[in-house]
Structure 1
Amino acid sequence: MEVIPNTLIKGKFVLLTLLIWLLFLLIAIPQWMIMCLYAKNPLIYTLILILVGFVLLACIHIVEVLKYKRPWNFVCLLICYEILTIGVALYLTKWNLIHTLILIGVGVLFSAFAMLVCVLLIFYQAYPNPVKLAIVGFMGFILVYCIRSVHIFNKWFYLADLEVTVFLVSTVIVTICHILITNDNFELLRQDDAMHVAFVLYLCYMLFIVGCRIAAHCIQSNMEYFKSKRTTALAANFYYDNVK
């Protein structure tokens, strides 16, 4: 790829990236709300759309024409954006709308936390090699898959809690590393890269959404589990007192 001299100003690039990320988010929220209210819950479509979206995203980053040639880069990225947004929306269906809005807010908090950590790390220049750290984050995703695949752990009640915790921590690490890698390679960026950086941040945000949705289910299951245990204990005590 031909290296074009970078004439970008870092502050303007960061601001443009954040604005595009917010635009992605604001366009997605109404779609998620509509799908939450009216769509059914075909999980297979979610998996298919997410798979197709990630394949298209990989093609965009591999093929330079799809990444930098206008208007094809905008068209391809918008198609990928809609595919992944609808895929996540289908995952959020059959859920209370208020809970979905809370979930969206929690996802924003996770993203804001990761961005704040990046600002502090960049300001103090105190961070390890972000590429190596990103490998740790991706290893976390692999660890979740391995935990789920090993049947010996399936009977452990807190297995899902462990999985979602590792998943969310890994997503935070990957988000931070993405920003740090972008900062370290700022001299190689073009103006259109702001759109791609923002889109990857949006993908990380959707991973936060998925992780928080699973975490909410885990919390609900834990509450029901402890409630049932408490009810059983009270019933046992009542029976013991009456027999005694």
Structure 2
Amino acid sequence: MADAYISLYITVRSFIRHTLFIYLYLLSFAVPQWMLLSICTTADHILYTLICFSGSFVLLTLIHLVESVKYNWPWNWLAIGSCYELMTLGVGAFVMNSEQNTVMMAVAMALLIFGLVLVLCFFIISGYNYPNPYKLASLAALGLILVICAMILGTYRGRHWMDVALLLFMLSVLLLMISYVLISFKNLDVLIKPDTLLLGFVLYINYVLVLVASFICIQRCDFNFDATNVVQKASPYG
């Protein structure tokens, strides 16, 4: 039994490679679904997005709490697969009734940001003293609370607070991602090969959150640009 458990340990390089491969596989299967939903549907359904995201996070919490679901095949694959599909369909419901170019732009923008953050994590880890990841996670949680405050202010004080909320949300998600990578690296000595499935999926969740923020950012930019053009056309000095 001990030998079987020891055999699950892999080198750091292999662990990182397996995790990134799983993340890329999940992403490659998700993009066609998003494209299909953006083309074949006629209205967005934010309620479906909230339901899917909530169900995915509840199931993810269950996976973390129950080790038999976390490590035993095929339950771990079924649980992660269900979480993955809920998360993917939630994003698909969010981008419904959007132009395909807009969706692809958001996907590319999120992928670029995600890649840059991974490179940043590499340089942080390579440093002699990197920041406490738990403090970074706490800072990210505080940022998410400020997002809610900014959104509340946005409903009363104007649309610019919504832009502030979007910026805070993006920064908070990126801080969460950095802290998660650092925490995982710090605990590599106790992680085993089956953990790569869960870690790869959590990276995918971080990408999804960055994608949602990127998609909203593109829509906000388009809205502000259109509003500016309308004002200029309406102005006698435009």
Q: What range describes the TM-score normalised by the shorter chain of this pair? A: over 0.9
Tell me the amino acid that sits aligned with residue 112 of structure 1.
Answer: G
The partner residue of 1:203 within 186, 200, 205 is 205
Give the equivalent residue in structure 2 for 1:15: 17
Is the deviation greater in 157-166 or in 195-204? 157-166
- Contact 1:49/1:83 (8 A) holds in 2: yes
Is the deviation greater in 49-58 or in 216-225? 216-225
Does residue 110 of structure 2 align to residue 107 of structure 1?
yes
Give the deviation of 1:99 after TM superposition: 1.4
Instruction: Determine the C-alpha separation between the residues in 1 that align with 2:123 and 2:192.
Output: 25
Give the equivalent residue in structure 2 for 1:146: 149
Give the equivalent residue in structure 1 for 2:85: 82
Instruction: Determine the C-alpha separation between the residues in 1 that align with 2:224 and 2:104.
Output: 22
Instruction: Determine the C-alpha separation between the residues in 2 that align with 1:200 and 1:125.
Output: 26
Tell me the amino acid that sits aligned with residue 130 of structure 2.
Answer: Y
Does residue 124 of structure 2 align to residue 121 of structure 1?
yes
Does residue 133 of structure 2 align to residue 135 of structure 1?
no
Give the equivalent residue in structure 2 for 1:49: 52
- The ranges of structure 1 where at least 4 consecutive aligned residues each deviate by more than 4 angstroms after the TM superposition are none
Instruction: Determine the C-alpha separation between the residues in 2 that align with 1:218 and 1:212.
Output: 10
- Contact 1:148/1:154 (8 A) holds in 2: no
- Contact 1:134/1:173 (8 A) holds in 2: yes
- Structure number with bigger Rg: 1
- Contact 2:52/2:87 (8 A) holds in 1: yes
Instruction: Determine the C-alpha separation between the residues in 2 that align with 1:157 and 1:164.
Output: 11
Give the deviation of 1:98 after TM superposition: 1.5
Give the equivalent residue in structure 2 for 1:27: 29
Instruction: Determine the C-alpha separation between the residues in 1 that align with 2:23 and 2:9.
Output: 22
Instruction: Determine the C-alpha separation between the residues in 2 that align with 1:114 and 1:216.
Output: 20
The partner residue of 1:166 within 146, 168, 192 is 168
Instruction: Determine the C-alpha separation between the residues in 2 that align with 1:116 and 1:199.
Output: 19
Aligned in 2, Cα 1:79/1:199: closer, same or farther, shift over 3 Å? same
Does residue 219 of structure 2 align to residue 217 of structure 1?
yes
SS at match of 1:187: coil
**How many residues in Structure 1 have an aligned counterpart in Structure 2?**
233
- Per-residue displacement from partner, 1:77-135 (whole Å, max 9, x unpaired)? 10110011101111011000121111111111111011001000011133211011111
Instruction: Determine the C-alpha separation between the residues in 2 that align with 1:108 and 1:154.
Output: 34
Give the equivalent residue in structure 2 for 1:66: 69
Instruction: Determine the C-alpha separation between the residues in 2 that align with 1:159 and 1:107.
Output: 22
- Per-residue displacement from partner, 1:18-48 (whole Å, max 9, x unpaired)? 1100000000011111111112322211111
Give the deviation of 1:217 after TM superposition: 1.6
Flag structure 2 segments of 5+ consecutive residues without an equivalent: none
SS at match of 1:220: helix
The partner residue of 1:155 within 143, 154, 157 is 157
- Contact 2:9/2:191 (8 A) holds in 1: no
Give the equivalent residue in structure 1 for 2:233: 231
- Contact 2:177/2:206 (8 A) holds in 1: yes
